[in-house]
Amino acid sequence: MMHCETFYWYSKDGTKISACSWTTDKQPVRAVIGIVHGLGEHRGCYEHVAAYFTSYGYAVMAFDQRGHGETEGKKMYTPSYEELLENVDILIKEMDTRYPDAPALLYSHSMGGNITLNYLIRYRPKVIGAIVASPWLKLMWRPPSLAMLWGIAREQLQPNYRYPGMNQRATSDPVMLQRYTQDPLRYGMITPTLFSCVHRAGRIALTQAHKLRTPILLMHGEADLITSAKASAKFADRADARYCTFHSWAGFRHELHTEKGRDQVMARTVAWMEEQLDQSSNQRDKRLEQ
């Protein structure tokens, strides 16, 4: 049986961040996974993902990003990209505090994948690996230049203005799509500040892919209508093959964790995490022998 504990932390500017930890009665905890959700989502969107992972003996932790879910702040807004990175750093510290003897991994999606890739490249945290699904490196649509300029101008005059939401056709599963439309904590809008800083960070991640030093499983659906699968393939080409494993999913849309074939995605994810755990254990044994 899976248990959920809600807790909170405060970012540097005093924003109250809402988070939770999912565990089961299985002991000991084999590893702890931190989830970094995507645009418009919240941690509750991953309860079924947590249930899958905890059935294998993993603990799972997640938080609602700034302006999302139950976390405080203007909806779909962040003062800067640094605040997005800050809370991933706090998440990892919370994971270490609660599970000091368990290896740590990250699981991210879309905007969360954008944040996670930049975080891994810049911070090089002590995690044994990260799953990056459908990252926002490049969108499948390009805002017209005049509209973008107008957006920048609006941003200076009216920071709360929101762009129309992303395409809602993120999954082919009608049950999941219905859950999406009925979820009061999901949002389909974005402020110019959030859009512009994540948009820039996607380009930065692509140019700095060669600096990646943390093993990642990078996955993307080939039928994604929101973020570019080709951009993910380009990231994989630019990254060191020792650290980046790329898997594309034919016929899958944007939200791999809610698609009809999500069990395949989860099984592939667990298999990859098992490989990282084995490698981490072998490296630890070698250090003890020296």
pLDDT at position 165 is: 41
3-state secondary structure of 231: helix
pLDDT at position 180 is: 85
Q: What value does the mean pLDDT take over residues 122-127?
A: 96
pLDDT, tens only, 50-76: 999 999 999 999 999 999 999 998 899
**What is the pLDDT confidence band of residue 185, given thresholds at 50, 70 and 90?**
very high
pLDDT at position 163 is: 47
Task: Please determine, for residue 183, whether its predicted confidence score (pLDDT) is greater than 70.
Answer: yes
8 Å CB contact between 58 and 33: yes
Give me the residue spans of the domains in the chain: 3-289
**What is the pLDDT confidence band of residue 126, given thresholds at 50, 70 and 90?**
very high
Distance CA 99, CA 65 (A): 22
pLDDT above 70 covers what percent of the chain? 89
8 Å CB contact between 99 and 185: no
Q: Looking at the chain, which runs of residues are DSSP E strands?
A: 3-10, 16-23, 31-36, 58-63, 104-109, 129-133, 216-221, 244-249
8 Å CB contact between 192 and 151: yes
The C-alpha angle 34, 40, 45, rounded to 5 degrees, equals: 50
pLDDT at position 178 is: 85
What is each CA distance from 124 to 67, 212, 241, 249, 258, in whole angstroms?
Answer: 26, 8, 17, 28, 29
CATH of region 3-289, choose from 3.40.50.1820, 3.40.50.2300, 3.20.20.140, 3.40.50.1580: 3.40.50.1820
Token pair belonging to 284:
């630890």
Q: What value does the mean pLDDT take over residues 256-273?
A: 97
Cis before residue 215, ω within 30 degrees of 0?
A: no
